[in-house]
Amino acid sequence: MKSTHPKKLMLSLMVFFAMGLSAFAQPGGQLLSFSQAMQIMLEQNPALLRQKEEIRQKEYEIKSKKGLRLPRVSLNATAMAMSDPLHLDLTPVSEAITPLYQTLGSYGVFSGVANPDPSTSALLPVLGDDMSTAIVRQQLLEAGEAIEAHDWNEVIQEKNFALLTASFAMPIYAGSKINGANQAAEVNLSICEEELRHTEGLLLTELVTRYYGLALGIQVVELREEMQKSMATHFNDAQKLFDNGMIAKVELLHAKVARSEAEREVKEARRNVEILRTGLKATLASDSLTQIVPANNLFINNELNGLSTWITKAKNLNPQLKQIQGKKELVEIKHKVEKNEYLPTVAAMGNYNLADKDFSPYMPDWQLGIGMKWTLFEGMSRKNNLKASETLHKQVEFAEQKAGNDLEAYLVKLYHELQMQIEQKTELETTLELANEYRNSTQKAFNEGFATSTNVVEANTKVLQVRTKRLSVLYNYDVALAHFLQTAGVPEQYINFAAGENTTTEKQ
Whether residue 201 is found in the same domain as residue 241: yes
Whether residue 317 is found in the same domain as residue 457: yes
**Higher pLDDT pick, 290 / 367:** 367
Q: What is the pLDDT of residues 296-335, one digit of tens each?
A: 999 999 988 889 999 999 999 999 999 999 999 999 998 8
93 pLDDT band, cuts 50/70/90, is confident
The answer to whether position 160 is within a domain reads no
- Among the ranges given (92-96, 282-286, 431-435), the one the predictor scored with the smallest mean pLDDT: 92-96
Pairing of strands 292-294, 30-32: parallel
The answer to whether position 286 is within a domain reads yes
pTM of the predicted protein model: 0.76
Q: Which helix (H) or strand (E) holds 485?
A: helix 453-488
CA max distance for the chain = 173
Q: CA 223, CA 19: separation in Å to the nearest integer?
A: 25
Long-range contacts of 458-461 (CB under 8 A, 24+ apart): 459/435, 460/227, 460/230, 460/231, 460/234, 461/227
Whether residue 231 is found in the same domain as residue 280: yes
Instruction: Provide the residue range defining the domain that includes 116.
Output: 91-151
Report in angstroms the alpha-carbon separations of 317 from 46, 51, 76, 223, 480. 25, 19, 52, 41, 19
Whether residue 422 is found in the same domain as residue 362: yes
**Number of neighbours of residue 333 by Cβ within 10 angstroms:** 20
Q: What is the pLDDT of residues 375-415, one digit of tens each?
A: 888 778 888 888 888 898 899 999 999 999 999 999 999 99
The answer to whether position 239 is within a domain reads yes
Whether residue 314 is found in the same domain as residue 280: yes
Q: How many domains does the chain have?
A: 2
Whether residue 245 is found in the same domain as residue 361: yes
The answer to whether position 230 is within a domain reads yes
Whether residue 98 is found in the same domain as residue 230: no
Please give the radius of gyration of the chain, using alpha carbons only, rounded to the nearest integer: 47
The answer to whether position 501 is within a domain reads yes
The answer to whether position 23 is within a domain reads no
Report in angstroms the alpha-carbon separations of 355 from 157, 207, 352. 16, 67, 9
Whether residue 123 is found in the same domain as residue 55: no
The answer to whether position 5 is within a domain reads no
Whether residue 50 is found in the same domain as residue 104: no
Q: CA 285, CA 406: separation in Å to the nearest integer?
A: 33
Q: What is the pLDDT of residues 221-277, one digit of tens each?
A: 999 999 999 999 999 989 998 998 888 899 899 999 999 999 999 999 999 999 999
CATH number at residue 240: 1.20.1600.10
Give the pLDDT of residue 217.
Answer: 96
Whether residue 325 is found in the same domain as residue 238: yes
**Higher pLDDT pick, 266 / 102:** 266
The answer to whether residue 24 scores a pLDDT higher than 50 is no
In three-state secondary structure terms, 243 is: helix
Whether residue 294 is found in the same domain as residue 407: yes
Q: What is the pLDDT of residues 129-178, one digit of tens each?
A: 778 888 888 888 888 888 877 778 888 888 899 999 999 999 988 878 88
